[in-house]
Amino acid sequence: MVKSSVLGYPRIGADREWKKALEAYWAGKIDNEAFESQLQEIRLNHLRKQQAKGIDYIPVNDFSYYDHILDTATMFGLIPERFAYEGGKVPLSVYYGIARGTKDAAASEMTKWFNTNYHYIVPELSGLTPVLTENKPLVAYQEAKEKLGIEGKPVLVGPLTFVKLSKGYSASETGTWLNRLLPLYVRILQELQQEGVQWVQIDEPILVTQVSDEDLQHLRTIYDTLHASAPAINIMLQTYFEAVERYQDIVALPVQGIGLDFVHGRPGNQQSLQSFAFPQDKVLGAGIIDGRGIWRSSLQENLDLLNELSAIVSPDRLIIQSSCSLLHVPVTTDRETKLTSELKNALAFADEKLDELVLLTQALTSGIGAIATQLDTSARAILALHQSNERNRSDVQQAVEELRVQEPVRSVPFAKRHLAQQDKWQLPLLPTTTIGSFPQSAEVRKARQSWRKGEWNQERYTDFIHQHIDTWIGLQEEIGLDVLVHGEFERTDMVEFFGEKLAGFAFTQNGWVQSYGSRCVKPPVIFGDVAFDGNMTVEETVYAQSQTKKPVKGMLTGPITIMNWSFVRDDIPREHIAYQLAYALRQEVEALEQAGIGMIQVDEPAVREGLPLKVNEQEAYLAWAVKAFKITTCTVQETTQIHTHMCYCEFHDMIGSIEAMDADVISIETSRSHGELIHSFELNTYKLGIGLGVYDIHSPRVPSVKEMTDMIQRALRVLPAQLFWINPDCGLKTRGYDETVASLQNMVEATRLARDTYATLV
């Protein structure tokens, strides 16, 4: 009989109660006991919900106190030496120290989880010896069984994926590290086997990327050993986000189930099944419900796919499941009371996806008639949105088609622009700036809420924003920054703010998802054709510029970031969505320039995270991503300086594309990766203006002048001082007032010292 399963459930809770508990604990408002109790109740509620919905295989150990990769690292005692770990179960102070940093130790690097907007903490292996500190999957299994009577499916990150996503070792040491970790995985499975666990989900998403012959040999060793050591356990080797590589080799591994993504990896996985069939001794975990998108599934299309799969895999060896963990989608549509019925009916968040899984399972078990009403409802909802006016704007579609066949370029090349801009701005050597946002206090957030609720009129709110702009313009001048920003006090989120001012967007009330740690975001929904609908940033930027003689940057979020940080429609190519956004943003760039703003920053921190996992698809994506940025910025005068910003990604493999964006200045995060990006510039020439973030804004510590001076000195060994800018690595919205001022003061002092050193070189 067909069964249903989920690969993971959102941690944050319908009311973000998980986030609130973490932040209360960090602030010292609740003690360890209260914190543990709150998290347990949240965790059990998630399990109860899946149990009540009728999911057959419910995941356990998918819950986390911060991040599942950090959980795996601490489970294996892989604690960087700077955190003074003394062995045994890892205390929360150390756990959160790795994630957030402490007064004396920098946080571990944080980067994107494959091509999603989720960030994980990168394990550091150098100089460490792994040891099992706690069998977390076993603890989670026991809790679910004892508290709720659930025979859970423990989830753990697979050895190859864990090592590949770690740092602090050379490629030649991969086998060594796998050999060190394998006995610990064996012990985990043996203890689970002794407890009577039936299925274990071992996540190996790395298998959808390139798999070498050496990797394949490692996999055989790993799963031969695990199967031999715990033969009574059924292992579901789970992949997601794309089609699995080396299909024939992977399905031959000694595991009892293979999980494949039939949403984002559908073409490749379908082709593999059709060409090479599926082993008769294994279960297929068919990921047919999108774990990353928010749209209602076409039940009929999914049934057609399941019927196709059933011709290859018998129903008793088929598990219908989400394509990946539901971590990436909001919890429920139940509380969305302000969306149009046309749009709301077309949505499916985590809880609705559980319902879809159960319906499809019911259809295969009892026949299609059992869900006839739901099939009709699904089809009608999808068709209504498809035929809506918002999705059929001929003016937008015609403009984008014209842009699609043109090649956007600036009027003159960078070398000439740079001279013109230097002459206009007369900036000092190593100019200093920030990325855009300044601390948003509780007072700022309360004022915004009062305005949104109608308790404050527009005049009062504008006066409040102007007062904060005045304060921070004055502070920036006092600190000694060279290029200023207005602070973005009117903005909730760098994507939501623009989406609210563009046609084709909708906004949920509770559509929160986890980005990193307790940081939750509420992505806009791009459901229709995107169009410019009036100036978005001009008023605040022009006001800020009127308060200072120093240049103030206009601040926009770029088209690729808006797209990648939104839930986007799935009925047209993403490339077309990007061009719609670019065309709309171009009109805002032109409005800023016409209003006298001569420096405009178009942030693109999410370009890298949208990179396809398949190498043969990456070049095409980067080409249209770069084109979208250039469509946005190419029409300005040569003296107008275009900035952009990127953060928390591995950029070493796309330096060429970054340069092709032709921004006059790009700022890129380097501090949290401990300057590793600088190595890319030791190997590659970069001829445009660049600022490498010299301190980590996601940690509450104030970095010393020496730390930043060391970073600057290393960068200037490989980058020309006359093109180098100095800045934090990201916006400062989440930081406190005192630490922000102190950190920027240290940054300016480090810059002064660097200027003294390098003034003679230019």
- pLDDT, one tens digit per residue, over 255-313 is 999 999 999 999 999 999 999 999 999 999 999 999 999 999 999 999 999 999 999 99
Q: Does the annotation flag 328 for ligand binding?
A: no
Instruction: Determine the pLDDT at residue 757.
Output: 87
First to last CA, the chain: 75
The residue from 46, 328, 466, 698 that is catalytic is 698
Distance CA 542, CA 466 (A): 11
Domain extent at residue 539: 394-406+414-761
Instruction: State residue 630's pLDDT score.
Output: 97
pLDDT score, position 719: 84
- Residue 132 CB neighbours (<10 A): 17
Name the pLDDT band for 697 (thresholds 50, 70, 90): confident
Residue 191, annotated ligand binder? Answer: no
Q: Does 386 qualify as catalytic in the annotation?
A: no
Task: With beta carbons less than 8 A apart as the criterion, state whether 499 and 524 touch.
Answer: yes
Torsion over CA of 738, 741, 746 and 749, rounded to 10 degrees?
-150
13 in a domain, yes or no? no
Residue carrying the six token digits 């701005």 = 425
Torsion of CA 610, 613, 619, 625, to 10 degrees: -10
Q: Is there a binding annotation on residue 218?
A: no
How many domains does the chain divide into?
Answer: 1
Least confident of 527-536, 623-632, 704-713: 704-713
| Weakest mean pLDDT among 155-159, 453-457, 492-496, 645-649 | 645-649
533 lies in some domain: yes
pLDDT at site 341? 95
Q: Name the band, by pLDDT with cuts 50, 70 and 90, for residue 167.
A: very high
Beta-ladder partners of 569: none
Q: C-alpha distances in angstroms, 376 versus 159, 363, 372?
A: 44, 14, 6
Other Cβ atoms closer than 10 A to 398: 10
Does the annotation place 242 within a ligand binding site? no
Alpha helix ranges (H) inside 634-718: 655-660, 676-683, 705-716
Rounded to two decimals, the pTM is: 0.90
Whether residue 1 is predicted with pLDDT greater than 90 in this model: the reply is no
520 annotated as a binding-site residue: yes
Whether residue 215 is annotated as binding a ligand: the answer is: no
Percent of the chain with pLDDT over 90: 85
Q: What is the CATH number of the domain that holds 567?
A: 3.20.20.210
645 is in an annotated binding site: yes
Q: What is the pLDDT at residue 600?
A: 98
Residue 228: both structure tokens together: 């031999």
Q: Give the C-alpha separation, 600 to 379, whole Å.
A: 45
Whole-angstrom Cα distance, residue 337 to residue 733?
A: 29
> Is 71 annotated to bind ligand?
no
- Residue 472 annotated as binding site: no
**pLDDT above 60 (res 532):** yes
For residue 669, being part of any structural domain is answered with yes
Q: Is residue 670 predicted with pLDDT exceeding 70?
A: no
484 in a structural domain = yes
How confident is the model at residue 698, as a pLDDT?
72
**Residue 32 scores a pLDDT above 90:** yes
In a domain, 698, yes or no: yes
Strand runs labelled E in 3-134: 3-5, 59-60, 110-112, 119-121
Q: Taking residues 91-110, what's their average pLDDT?
A: 94
Q: CA–CA separation, 446 vs 452, rounded Å? A: 10
> Any known ligand binding at 437?
yes
In terms of Cα–Cα distance, which of 695, 696, 692, 693 is closest to 720?
692
Q: What is the mean pLDDT of residues 416-421?
A: 96
Please state the rounded mean pLDDT for residues 684-699: 80
- Interval 147-156 mean pLDDT: 98
Task: Give the pLDDT confidence score for residue 734 in this predicted structure.
Answer: 83
Asked if residue 729 belongs to a known ligand binding site, the reply is: no
The confidence score (pLDDT) of residue 673 equals 54
Rounded Cα distance, 115 and 459, in Å:
42
Say whether 598 counts as a known binding-site residue.
Answer: no
Per-residue pLDDT at 680 exceeds 90: no
509 is a domain residue: yes
**Residue 634 annotated as lining a ligand binding site:** no
Q: What confidence tier does 684 reach under pLDDT thresholds 50, 70, 90? A: low
Q: Are strands 502-506 and 525-532 parallel, antiparallel or unpaired?
A: antiparallel
Average pLDDT over residues 30-51: 98
Task: Provide Rg for the chain, Cα atoms.
Answer: 26
Q: How high does pLDDT run on average in the chain? A: 94
What pLDDT shows up at residue 606?
Answer: 86
Tell me the C-alpha distance between 744 and 751, whole Å.
10
| pLDDT tens digits, one per residue of 372-383 | 999 999 999 999
The predicted structure's pLDDT at residue 729? 86
Is residue 40 one of the residues assigned to a domain? no
Q: Are strands 59-60 and 110-112 parallel, antiparallel or unpaired?
A: unpaired
Residue 46 pLDDT > 60:
yes
pLDDT band at 716 (very low <50, low <70, confident <90, very high): confident
pLDDT reported for residue 686: 76
Across 635-647, average pLDDT: 94
pLDDT tens string 420-444: 999 999 999 999 999 999 999 899 9
- Assigned domain for 546 exists: yes
